[in-house]
Amino acid sequence: MKVYIINGPMGVGKTVTGKLIAERYPGTAFIDGDWCMDIHPFVGDHETKAMAVDNILHMIGNYQKCSKCKRVVLVWLMDDRSVLESIMDGLNALQMEVKYTTLFCDRETLIRRWTNDHDCEWRTDRWLEVSLASLPYFAAMKDAVDTSELSVDQIADMIMGE
């Protein structure tokens, strides 16, 4: 089984891309890492991130046992290197094939995408500033792809190798 990991800043298009991939490819499980640490009010500390990693790996392990599941798409903002390493170590222990991609875009594109997303509760001015400040970090990551001029279909095709 193959796991496609899509990383990047808030608002770049991870979720919409992951959902499109899941819709296009039957037998694809979609995991949003935020679901795995959905505590109210939000707490993003070491303890909750470790719990989320454990939840994600447990879910992927269960999908691996399911004959209907052919691949998993995991979307999550992983700006803590140790979180990504823990996910990768766990996937290696599960003997999963992994395709990892970090998405980023330019400032203007992120602002446009952000303001067009009316469904996400995180789309506040405060979180936009946090996301904009994180762009250089994600742009510098290995396997980072600038999606500024790409449609969601093009991003999904690129991730899936088409």
Burial of 62 (0-12, 13-18, 19+ CB in 10 A): exposed
pLDDT band at 35 (very low <50, low <70, confident <90, very high): very high
Is residue 23 domain-resident? Answer: no
Whether residue 162 is predicted with pLDDT greater than 80 in this model: the reply is: no
Of 75, 49, 42, the C-alpha closest to 159 is 75
Q: Which position has the token pair 């991730």?
A: 159
- pLDDT value at position 135? 98
- Global pTM? 0.96
Is residue 36 domain-resident? Answer: yes
Are the C-beta atoms of residues 94 and 59 closer than 8 Å to each other?
A: no
Is residue 15 domain-resident? Answer: no
Residue type, 116: N
Whether residue 43 is predicted with pLDDT greater than 90 in this model: the reply is: no
Average pLDDT over residues 156-162: 94
- pLDDT value at position 118? 75
- pLDDT value at position 46? 93
Residue type, 141: M
Is residue 88 domain-resident? Answer: yes
Residues spanned by the domain of 85: 29-68+79-103+132-149
Whether residue 133 is predicted with pLDDT greater than 90 in this model: the reply is: yes
How many domains are contained in the chain? 1
CA 88 – CA 91 distance, rounded (Å): 5
Are the C-beta atoms of residues 83 and 46 closer than 8 Å to each other?
A: no
Are the C-beta atoms of residues 33 and 80 closer than 8 Å to each other?
A: no
- pLDDT value at position 99? 97
Is residue 45 domain-resident? Answer: yes
Is residue 141 domain-resident? Answer: yes
Whether residue 146 is predicted with pLDDT greater than 80 in this model: the reply is: yes
